[in-house]
Amino acid sequence: MSWKSRTRSLQVFDTELSADTVEWCPIPKWHNILTCGTYQLQKSPDGAVEESTTPSRIGRLYLFEFRQEGSLTPPLTELQRVDTPAILDLKWCHVPVSEKPLLGMATAVGHIQLYTLTESQESHWGLKALSSLEVGADRLALSLDWSTGRGDSSDVRVVCSDSAGCVNVLSLGPTSLTAVSQWKAHDFEAWISAFSYWDTQLIYSGGDDCKLKGWDLRIGPATPTFTSKRHTMGVCSIHSNPHREHILATGSYDEQVLLWDGRNMRQPLSENPLGGGVWRLKWHPTHEHLLLAACMHNDFHILNCQQALEGSEGECPSLASYILHNSLAYGADWSQVTLEGPAPLYSPQTMETRKSHVETSGRGHVRIQYESPTASFDTSLEDDEGRYIPEAVTPTPSTTATIPPLNSAADGNSVSCLLATCSFYDHMLHVWRWDWAPEKACGSPQAQEGSESGDQAGDTAGALTKLTLSET
């Protein structure tokens, strides 16, 4: 049976500052809550980056709510924006703390900041600052991970890596974090650190010294449990599989995603060249074989790791690629929102873009321009009265493959996922859906006709690779 993979853009949001991290809330009641963090070097009036021994870096934290209210309504609503120091990483604690979701933020001033999600009297959700802990002076906090990846609410801890090459372990008290230990783990920047979700006394770290290391908190950080030099450039992404014990995914500037069995770190289970530095990796929250990769210079990809995890040699095939960003692919995350109904025929975009980044036609339409190496075309987002309308000519990237389906879809059921991704220099947040289904279930004849017209539009525009908002 052939299976068809299709991505559909649902909304685009201009974050104004460079966007580098997105996170959906993993707690059931709040699955529709999304956060996005930004990072921006301050510039002088002439546009040059300010030169200083301690350059000024600013950021902004966005809070959104996702609602499914029909194809004519943009699903993402901005609830709050908070100006902060530049943000390097965001992670929600996987379990509620004091019955509320808790968000951790790694900042460019070396702090881990905590926010709680609270509800106002007007029934609006908002983030409230709870506490902040400095992991070290004159350094950037580069990443964080919670020990709660498998829903364990006992002994909640945070691991953080920083620009001094250190790994920091923090313990969560009733209202604040407490430093437990800190050690020099890497010669240069420690880009990433992560817990083993199956044994939270085990920690992994990766650095700009091209090394991947393991640490056992029970024996102390004097000597790592292993040091791997299999990656040939800086290691910048690590994620423990919350569904399969011992399974670990790592990514690097060397453009490789490696899958590992933690019991044998001498040889990876699978090596996967993705054509771009792998900044973030995320296992799917319910499908154990799906891996999302943010590949800096080569967009976003969904890998099917089923065969590799079952012992077959070879690469993990890519099921889908999301190619509509126009800059460094940094932030990426899966949502656990259950999507209602089939994918819309056309991908609604938002007109919430800054005036300098949109083109207005003579009749007042807001237009987005799509560019490829060979041609370009654009599409209206508003009618004559300025009302939002779905786009009608966006090509729908889709592929048909004979790759064995996921175990959960082996009986012919479709898989539909909601995702968020963000890119850096074009400061864009995208919310999109991915559908993976038997080809005969991809839609009615009308939907298939829409797909065909989308494919024709894609042929007209050449190999669609990027989304660009035209500047005036």
- The answer to the question of residue 303 being in a domain is yes
Report how far residue 278's alpha carbon sits from residue 281's, in angstroms, rounded to the nearest whole number. 7
**Do the domain assignments include residue 19?**
yes
Inside any domain, residue 120:
yes
pLDDT band (50, 70, 90) for residue 121:
confident
- Taking only the tens place, the pLDDT of each residue in 247-257 is 999 999 999 99
Dihedral of the CA atoms 88, 93, 96, 98 (nearest 10)?
-70
- 396 vs 413 pLDDT, higher one: 413
Q: Over range 368-383, report the average pLDDT.
A: 34
Does 463 map to a domain?
A: no
Task: Quote the Cα angle for 174-176-178, to 5°.
Answer: 110
Q: Is residue 161 a part of any domain in this protein?
A: yes
Distance CA 206, CA 196 (A): 14
- Average pLDDT of every residue of the chain: 82
Is the residue at 166 inside a domain? yes
Model pLDDT, residue 9:
95
Q: Using one digit for the tens of pLDDT, what is the confidence trace for 438-471?
A: 876 554 444 443 343 333 333 323 333 333 322 3
- Which residues form the domain of 246? 9-335
229 within 8 A of 211, measured Cβ to Cβ: yes
Flag whether 22 is in a domain.
Answer: yes
- Assign residue 189 the CATH number of its domain: 2.130.10.10
> End-to-end distance of the chain based on CA atoms, in angstroms?
48
Helices (H), 232-368: 306-309
Residue range 166-220, pLDDT digits in tens: 999 999 998 899 999 999 999 999 999 999 999 999 999 999 999 999 999 999 9
Closest-CA residue to 464 (of 393, 408, 386, 413)? 393
Q: What is the pLDDT of residues 14-58, one digit of tens each?
A: 999 999 999 999 999 999 999 999 999 987 666 555 555 567 899
| Confidence grade of residue 73 (pLDDT, cut at 50, 70, 90) | confident
Helix (H) or strand (E) holding 329: strand 329-335
Check residue 345 and give its pLDDT. 47
- Cα(17)–Cα(133) distance, integer angstroms: 25
Domain count, the chain: 1
For 259, residues 6+ apart whose C-beta sits below 8 A from its C-beta are 247, 248, 249, 268, 269, 270, 272, 305, 308, 309, 316
Measuring CA to CA, which residue among 433, 421, 431 is closest to residue 20? 421
- Banded model confidence at residue 359, pLDDT cuts 50, 70, 90: very low
Q: What is this structure's pTM?
A: 0.82
Quote the pLDDT of residue 175. 85
> What is the reported pLDDT for 349?
38
Question: Considering the domain boundaries, does residue 412 fall inside one?
Answer: no
